[in-house]
Amino acid sequence: MNVGEIQTFEHDVLVIGAGGAGLRAAIECSARGLNTGVISKSLLGKAHTVMAEGGMAASLGNVDRRDNWKIHFRDTMRGGKFLNQWRMAELHAKQAPERVRELEEWGAVFDRTPDGLISQRNFGGHRYPRLAHVGDRTGLELIRTLQDHGVHQGIHFHMECTALRLLLDSGRIAGVAGYWRDTGRFVLFRTPSVIMATGGGGKAWNVTSNSWEYTGDGAALAYEAGAELMDLEFTQFHPTGMVWPPSVRGTLVTEGVRGDGGILLNNKGERFMFNYIPKRFASETADTILEADKWPDDPSARRPPELLTRDVVARAIRAEVQAGRGSPHGGAFLDIASRRPADAIRRKLPSMYHQFKELAEVDITTTPMEVGPTLHYFMGGIRVDADSQQTNVPGLFACGECAAGLHGANRLGGNSLSDLIVFGRLAGIGVAAYLSEQGTTPRADDEQITAAFREATSILNRESGENPYLMHEAIQEVMSSNVGIVRTGEELQTAVEQLEALKARAKNLKAPGTSQYNPGWHEALSVKSLLVVGEAVARAAYIREESRGAHTRLDFEGERDECARFNVVTKKGPSGEMQVAKVERPDPPKELAAIANATLDDLEGGKVG
Amino acid sequence: MSPRKFKIWRGDSRGGEFNAYDADVDEGMVVLDVLHRIQALQANDLAIRWNCKAGKCGSCSMEINGRPRLACMTRMNSFGPEEVITVQPLKAFPIIKDLTCDVSWNYEQNKRIAPFRPKPRGRDGEHRMYQEDVDRVQEFRKCIECFLCQDVCHVVRDRDRKDAFVGPRFMIRLASLEMHPLDDDDRVPEIKKEYGSGMCNITRCCTETCPEHINITDNGIIPLKERVVDRYYDPLARLARLFAGRKVRTKTRSEEQSE
């Protein structure tokens, strides 16, 4: 193979992924004068961001003037069980409002308050109505706004293009080897910097709200290039996915249903969430139906327990089902029909109405939905510096879901879309700063490039071998059975052993047909990423011997103070083995610790910080 | 589980044919589920585009029994028990392979449209817009870019006048800009002369096919046509402008530049 004959693009920065984080990063890079390329596995505007429903969290204070960045910061830290990177949570809470206003400047049309400002809705774990939203299709609004703005910024978009390998020059980023999905031809990007914005790896589970793209490519590519991963044991199960019919099991039902007044019931008609209020949130959560029903109209009423954080609600639904109090198809009932008028439901939750009507033949304005936990989000990912989003690999940056740190042990709903725009921008600034300090241009040697292409081609050239689709299903089976919403050390070890066995089999994958638009081949190439993230999650979960946030160990109940002092960091060892270590957390800055531990009265009165 | 018969178009830009497949169908399945099952077990290299499988991304557009549909929102129980299900790619665009086609023309049209240009913020630093003023724009912004409307548009599909008309999708995009309360650009000359509003003869096929139920023709295209008529063909409006001493653009930006 002659590298000189391969189609080659040269950029100052290549962004991998065109969801919210990737587009925002690319816009920032381009604004800073960088020759910016973006590659995306799908067509522009189709990335997983499009499925985000509820909204983006920012303490604009449009609906409740008492809100401010400190309360948003405190909510985020408490939701993340204090395992978040303090500085990231601070930057996020401080910068989110400006980023939301910027979207409006670029054409986004959020729902409005009666006095014409951006409206904000209630969501789990957020003290005040904080989520800027457009009905229940906020993700579409975000991605379309960034897309329509981005296409006029001189960015080079390379659609339906997949990265195979990061190329290095003496440990520095020097390029990316990839292929076009439609033609199957290989392509080479020579670039001194890369921003990973590839999202999570939920497709390693079989019940997930994630689309096919979520195969953990960013984390896996970065890992192979020597980057550290962090917090992978924290995989969020969203409490409310569809459970029926089977073909849509896992499809997301927005938390906005509960934010707008929906309640959870078991098959006895009981509002069971009152039985699952954790101590940490007891003083701020309603403990009677009477009080919960007064909220939000009566400002003295505390929030209903349905709006506890996602980890708590997901475990509660699971426990109800296990106790025999589940809905007919193994979930809980989510009832908005008896709480809000039909036209209000259709207006605020149009795509939920549509989704249930079309896919489940259920009218949510008259009938409760059946919902259950679904793998939704990776809190963990590539370890980055809070301010610049740079990894330990020079020239490699990461932002959005594929980066770790903001959300700690559990993400609050609405903090994901704001994460994308805050840290997408910071990654762009980080790259510009990095490039301004670089002297020589790194250059990848031919050997790395041809090795990447040879590995990919071998899947097509093999006479016979494993079916890539069935291999993917086997990985999902391992993860769903052994690395689920509750875990034990024994199961996690089983998962690692079974993944090892699958890794060996995966060396013999075979995709029939040619390289032209061949989904079997694409599937085979993503198996490698799925195996890396699957193993990393299982190993990280094994060494965190406690239950915290989204990580629940039946053999280690409850949070343990000593476990709050470390994050789990994963990297590739010198002989190719996966190394997992506990890395001590530095003490937080005093002023941030004071805010996170303050009472609400203090923060609302402005006494702290 | 019951067996169903499928006919799926297989081939590429050089040609192809319908292949027959038998597939087991479970309760609640949509066409996309069955295509995935066929792909996993019988035709590993069957090319399909899809993403969200919940009707939110507009990737899995194809023609199912002759009708442009999203495969993820087409339930198997919407067909008769013995009905053969025929699946083929969108007709209005060049085929890449099997059920995928090259929709890049659409992305080129989007790029031609002058971007949103906001008014300055108010004195309090805020943009104020009221819900009743943004309802219409929000309807247009529900568009998931599935391009089914482009596929059924007679101008785009049957007459292949992609050179003269941007198609319903981008008329809606233009409408969402022109009716945006904060936008202060004027795109009317371009809507007439470059994007081809006159090409649409209001058959409403686009509106009927829209999976988001956007009222493309009545709420989007017709109001844009009316703006063009007011600007170019209404003698009273012209007279009124003359008396008021008000000038409006009648030339496109490229016409202005070439002078």
**pLDDT tens digits, one per residue of A485-506:** 999 999 999 999 999 999 999 9
Residue B253's CATH number: 1.10.1060.10
Q: Which residues numbered 290-319 in A keep a CB inside 8 Å of some CB on B?
A: none
Task: For chain B, say whether A589 makes contact (Cβ under 8 Å).
Answer: no
Kindly list the structural domains of chain A, giving each domain's residue range(s) and its CATH number in brackets, ordered by start: 15-236+376-436 (3.50.50.60), 241-373 (3.90.700.10), 446-554 (1.20.58.100)
Q: Say what the pLDDT of residue A246 is.
A: 87
Which of B101, B128, B153 is the last residue in one of the domains? B101
Let me know how many helices (H) and strands (E) chain B has, helices first.
11, 7
What domain range is B135 assigned to?
A: 104-258
User: What does the pLDDT average to over A414-441?
Assistant: 97
Task: Please check whether residues B129 and B239 belong to one and the same domain.
Answer: yes
Task: For chain A, say whether B198 makes contact (Cβ under 8 Å).
Answer: no
Q: Which residues numbered 117-156 in B keep a CB inside 8 Å of some CB on A?
A: 118, 126-131, 134, 137-138, 141-145
Q: Say what the pLDDT of residue A605 is.
A: 66
CB count within 10 Å of CB B244 equals: 8
**Confidence grade of residue B259 (pLDDT, cut at 50, 70, 90):** confident
The answer on pLDDT for B101 being more than 60 is yes
Q: Which residues numbered 159-178 in B keep a CB inside 8 Å of some CB on A?
A: 173, 177
- Name the token pair of B96: 């890449």
Query: Which helix H or strand E contains A600, and what residues bound it?
Result: helix A600-604
Task: Please check whether residues B52 and B137 belong to one and the same domain.
Answer: no
A302 within 8 A of A295, measured Cβ to Cβ: yes
Pairing of the two strands A13-16 and A36-40:
parallel
Task: Please check whether residues B175 and B202 belong to one and the same domain.
Answer: yes
Give percent above pLDDT 90 in chain A. Answer: 94
Q: ipTM value of the model?
A: 0.96
Q: Which residues numbered 12-51 in B keep a CB inside 8 Å of some CB on A?
A: 12, 26-30, 33, 39-41, 44-51
Task: Please check whether residues B90 and B202 belong to one and the same domain.
Answer: no
Which of A237, A265, A234 lies closest to A252 in space, CA to CA?
A237
What residues of chain B lie within 8 A of the CB of A40, using their CB?
none
Give the mutation candidate from A153, A346, A358, A473 for the B interface (greatest B CB count, under 10 A): A358
Task: Please check whether residues B115 and B8 belong to one and the same domain.
Answer: no
Residue B91's CATH number: 3.10.20.30
Q: Say what the pLDDT of residue A484 is.
A: 95
Number of structural domains (chain B) is 2
Task: Please check whether residues B56 and B149 belong to one and the same domain.
Answer: no
Cβ distance of A116 and B128 shorter than 8 Å = yes
Give SS3 for A230: strand
Amino acid in the structure at residue B187: R
The answer on pLDDT for A609 being more than 60 is no
Residue-wise DSSP of A505-546: HHTTB---S-STT-HHHHHHHHHHHHHHHHHHHHHHHHH--S
Q: Say what the pLDDT of residue A375 is.
A: 97
**pLDDT tens digits, one per residue of B54-73:** 999 999 999 999 999 999 99
Q: Among A247, A351, A360, whose Cβ lies nearest the Cβ of B29?
A: A247
Task: Please check whether residues B124 and B228 belong to one and the same domain.
Answer: yes
Task: Please check whether residues B92 and B157 belong to one and the same domain.
Answer: no
What residues of chain B lie within 8 A of the CB of A520, using their CB?
39, 44-45
Q: Which residues numbered 78-107 in B keep a CB inside 8 Å of some CB on A?
A: 96-98, 100, 102-104, 107
Cβ distance of B100 and A517 shorter than 8 Å = yes
Cβ distance of A511 and B44 shorter than 8 Å = yes
- Residue in A with minimal Cα distance to B211: A354
The whole-angstrom separation of Cα B118 and Cα A480 is 48
Please tell me the distance in Å from B246's CA to the nearest CA on chain A.
Answer: 28
Task: Please check whether residues B61 and B36 belong to one and the same domain.
Answer: yes
- Residue in A with minimal Cα distance to B130: A116
φ and ψ at residue B164, rounded to 5 degrees: -115, -15
**Confidence grade of residue A85 (pLDDT, cut at 50, 70, 90):** very high
Amino acid in the structure at residue A445: D
B77 within 8 A of A360, measured Cβ to Cβ: no
What residues of chain B lie within 8 A of the CB of A521, using their CB?
45
What residues of chain A lie within 8 A of the CB of B73, using their CB?
358-359
The whole-angstrom separation of Cα A602 and Cα A595 is 9
The answer on pLDDT for A607 being more than 70 is no
E-only strand ranges, A358-412: 369-378, 381-382, 396-398
User: What does the pLDDT average to over A415-439?
Assistant: 97
Cβ distance of B28 and A135 shorter than 8 Å = no
Give percent above pLDDT 90 in chain B. Answer: 90
Give the mutation candidate from B19, B30, B45, B179 for the A interface (greatest A CB count, under 10 A): B45
Task: Please check whether residues B134 and B242 belong to one and the same domain.
Answer: yes
> In whole numbers, what is the pLDDT of chain B averaged over residues?
95
The whole-angstrom separation of Cα A136 and Cα A140 is 9
> In whole numbers, what is the pLDDT of chain A averaged over residues?
96
Which of B101, B124, B151 is the last residue in one of the domains? B101
Q: Say what the pLDDT of residue A297 is.
A: 87
Q: Say what the pLDDT of residue A585 is.
A: 97
Cβ distance of B126 and A117 shorter than 8 Å = yes
Amino acid in the structure at residue A563: C
User: What does the pLDDT average to over A6-10?
Assistant: 98
φ and ψ at residue A381, rounded to 5 degrees: 165, -145
Cβ distance of A518 and B138 shorter than 8 Å = no
**pLDDT tens digits, one per residue of A263-286:** 999 999 999 999 999 998 999 999
Which of B101, B135, B161 is the last residue in one of the domains? B101
Write the burial class of residue A115 (CB in 10 Å: 0-12 exposed, 13-18 middle, 19+ buried): exposed
Q: Say what the pLDDT of residue B238 is.
A: 86
Task: Please check whether residues B213 and B113 belong to one and the same domain.
Answer: yes
B41 within 8 A of B32, measured Cβ to Cβ: no
Size of interface A-B (CB pairs under 8 A): 170
Cβ distance of A245 and B12 shorter than 8 Å = no
The whole-angstrom separation of Cα B129 and Cα A104 is 11
Range in A161-170, A593-602, B161-170 with the lowest mean pLDDT: A593-602
**pLDDT tens digits, one per residue of A453-485:** 999 999 999 999 999 999 999 999 999 999 999
Give SS3 for A451: helix
Q: Among A44, A151, A212, whose Cβ lies nearest the Cβ of B50?
A: A212
Torsion sign across C-alpha atoms A260, A596, A416, A277 = negative
Cβ distance of A182 and B27 shorter than 8 Å = no
Cβ distance of B97 and A516 shorter than 8 Å = yes
The answer on pLDDT for A317 being more than 90 is yes
User: What does the pLDDT average to over A302-331?
Assistant: 95
Give the number of residues written for chain B.
259
What value, to the nearest 5°, has the Cα angle with vertex B113 and ends B112 and B117?
A: 135
What residues of chain A lie within 8 A of the CB of B54, using their CB?
51, 248, 251-252, 355, 359
Which of A179, A147, A374, A371 lies closest to A257 in space, CA to CA?
A371
The answer on pLDDT for B33 being more than 70 is yes
Q: Among B26, B51, B141, whose Cβ lies nearest the Cβ of A247?
A: B26
Residues of A involved in catalysis: 238, 258
Q: Say what the pLDDT of residue A103 is.
A: 98
**pLDDT tens digits, one per residue of A517-541:** 999 999 999 999 999 999 999 999 9
Task: Please check whether residues B50 and B149 belong to one and the same domain.
Answer: no
